[in-house]
Amino acid sequence: MTINYDYENLALRLWFQMHRVRDALMTCEDQVFGEYGLTSEQYSVLMTIKYLQEPVRVTDIAHWLERSTNSISMIIDRMVKPGLLRRVRDRKDRRVVNVFITSKGEKALKPASVAGLEFIREVLSPLSYEDRRTLVNLLQMVKYKAFKYLDPGIDIEEMIRNEAKRHADLFERLTQYISPSIPEAKRQGGKK
Amino acid sequence: MTINYDYENLALRLWFQMHRVRDALMTCEDQVFGEYGLTSEQYSVLMTIKYLQEPVRVTDIAHWLERSTNSISMIIDRMVKPGLLRRVRDRKDRRVVNVFITSKGEKALKPASVAGLEFIREVLSPLSYEDRRTLVNLLQMVKYKAFKYLDPGIDIEEMIRNEAKRHADLFERLTQYISPSIPEAKRQGGKK
């Protein structure tokens, strides 16, 4: 067996790059969302609750964000303390705990969404439409392989269908959610 | 102004995908390295020290991993406790603290590297050589834009040159470091 070192090096380089890009994005996002008192992770949780519509359970948030319930629980703990979220026991089933966004959380979420979208536009600006499509597809291939590694019995076909639908829904709601900010901004700059 | 929703949606989808791929990889890696008592982050720190060659300062590790000194310090704290790393004050400059891998850390690092490389091969197997090159290049473009966002005065050209050199060095050392394991594995499977 001969090892193709170039091929191997390329794999390692790609692996590094996938991690480093995310690290860099997280640092930027913590800065962007930090202006509104949120970390990048806290923003994702708020946006997910907004999208799923209250009442939302911790497991729903974890499922949507493809994270463990345990790690999402810890993030939520750190959001309940400063009053961004509220935990309320379900009236019908007392074992279930629902999570709600407080008015303080709402106040942070909207401007943070506008700033976040502005940041995404900026950071992706070097990529053409074709580049973006290629990147989404290639990353998806790696992600599905990773999911298959974690659970060999997983139904990838069904996952792909669900994901496409969920994303389309989320983006429509996100755009609707922040769209009133655009005419407002225009009005301020316009004539009286 | 009319918003091109498809274009916008694609940007959001890409942004999501970059985060989700990393989350999925981290979950896999925590599982792979967990077999050797390491988290994915702890493995990166050990491998960086191995690569930079002792004595290594916390700032060197942070610089190499493109992370803040603060976050690397916290990871190191959690590695000193279970005896994977040792902190030693520099003899010449008492203000400087160097980090060393203990024999326990060494014992975990080698088999973890072999398993890690095996995992990377597996998870990237759906991608052709061309796909990998494309993916590295596109991710790099996003990363550089993110660095530019964090520090508009940054010299990207110099960064690109340094990065290419550092990666080539690292991959050569990593392959050398784990290469004795390959003939060993072959010997076990071969005839006596």
Greater confidence (B119 vs A169) lies with: B119
Q: Which domain covers residue B182, as residue numbers? A: 5-187
Same domain (yes/no): A45, A105: yes
User: String of b and e for B160-170 (b: at least 16 CB within 10 Å)?
Assistant: eeebeeebeeb
Within a domain: residue A8?
no
B123: chain A residues, CB-CB within 8 Å: 142, 145-146, 149
Return mean pLDDT, chain A.
85
The pLDDT tens digits for B48-58 are: 998 888 889 99
Q: Residue A43 maps to which CATH number?
A: 1.10.10.10
The pLDDT tens digits for A17-57 are: 888 888 889 889 999 999 999 999 999 999 999 888 888 99
**β-bridge partners, B99:** B56, B87
Taking residues B25-47, what's their average pLDDT?
93
Domain end residue (candidates: A61, A79, A109): A109
pLDDT confidence band for A186 (50 / 70 / 90): very low
What are the distances in angstroms from CA A23 to CA A16, A78, A125, B82?
11, 21, 19, 26
Taking residues B10-16, what's their average pLDDT?
84
What are the distances in angstroms from CA A130 to CA A117, A161, B11, B180?
20, 22, 11, 43
**Mutant choice from A4, A135, A156 vs B, greatest count of B C-beta within 10 A:** A135
- Window 74-103 of B: residues touching A by CB (8 A cutoff) are none
ipTM: 0.78
Greater confidence (B72 vs A166) lies with: B72
Within a domain: residue B106?
yes
A117: chain B residues, CB-CB within 8 Å: 12
The pLDDT tens digits for A91-132 are: 888 888 899 999 999 999 999 999 998 999 999 999 999 999
Same domain (yes/no): A30, A101: yes
* pLDDT, position B190: 40
Same domain (yes/no): A137, A70: no
Within a domain: residue A5?
no
Within a domain: residue A104?
yes
Helix (H) or strand (E) holding A47: helix A40-52
Record the pTM. Answer: 0.78
Question: Taking CA atoms, what residue in A is nearest to B15?
Answer: A120
- The H-assigned helical ranges of B65-151 are 69-80, 103-123, 129-150
Name which of A5, A144, A145 is nearest B175 (Cβ-Cβ): A5
Inter-chain touch A24–B135, beta carbons under 8 Å: no
B31: chain A residues, CB-CB within 8 Å: 150
Taking the Cβ of residue B185 and every Cβ of chain A, the question of whether any pair is shorter than 8 Å is answered with no
* pLDDT, position A4: 52
Within a domain: residue B122?
yes
CA atoms of A100 and A105, how far apart (whole Å): 9
**Phi, psi for residue A3 in degrees, rounded to 5:** -90, 130
Within a domain: residue B115?
yes
Return mean pLDDT, chain B.
85
Within a domain: residue A114?
no
pLDDT confidence band for B139 (50 / 70 / 90): very high
Dihedral over Cα of A188, A191, A192, B5: its sign: negative
Inter-chain touch B174–A23, beta carbons under 8 Å: no
Taking residues B92-101, what's their average pLDDT?
90
**Phi, psi for residue A173 in degrees, rounded to 5:** -65, -40
Q: For residue B77, which of B87, B68, B67 has the smallest C-alpha distance?
A: B87
Same domain (yes/no): A28, A105: yes
CA atoms of A137 and B10, how far apart (whole Å): 11
Percent of chain B surpassing pLDDT 90: 50
The answer to whether residue B184 scores a pLDDT higher than 80 is: no
Same domain (yes/no): A61, A101: yes
pLDDT confidence band for B1 (50 / 70 / 90): very low
Angstroms from A38 CA to nearest CA on chain B: 17
* Residue A94 DSSP code: T
CA atoms of B13 and A129, how far apart (whole Å): 12
Within a domain: residue A1?
no
Name which of A127, A139, A150 is nearest B21 (Cβ-Cβ): A139
Out of A87-91, B41-45, B78-82, B175-179, pick the least confident. B175-179
Structural domains of chain B, count: 1
Question: Taking CA atoms, what residue in B is nearest to A19?
Answer: B22
Domain end residue (candidates: A109, A141, A163): A109
pLDDT confidence band for A139 (50 / 70 / 90): very high
The pLDDT tens digits for A73-83 are: 999 999 999 99
* pLDDT, position B167: 74
CA atoms of B159 and B162, how far apart (whole Å): 5
Out of A71-80, B14-23, B49-58, B164-173, pick the least confident. B164-173
